[in-house]
Amino acid sequence: MALDFLKVLFTYGIAILVILGGGVILWQTRDVPSADNLQLVISGFMGIAINWVFGEYTGSRTARQTTRALLQTAPSAPNNGGTK
């Protein structure tokens, strides 16, 4: 459980750094007339990075839950006095 919390913390930490770093670059280049292409590239990079970070997190969590579900045995059905 503690490992899952650290992974979530790390994932959101990376996302915050990417958003803040990209936001700073976009803010610094807001008045530069020739920075339109740079702003598009930075915005695209931010979107790709966030998508990759959360995609990796979701994929690893899904794989872990699927494995855990496949390894669990189903509880047996109770016999409520039915036919034997």
DSSP character string of 11-78: HHHHHHHHHHHHHHHHHHTTT-GGGHHHHHHHHHHHHHHHHHHHHHHHHHHHHHHHHHHHHSPPPPPP
| Interval 24-65: pLDDT, tens | 988 988 888 888 888 888 888 888 888 888 887 788 778 888
Domain ranges of the chain: 2-57
* Identity of residue 31: D
- Two tokens, residue 41: 């590239």
Top-confidence residue, 27 or 84: 27
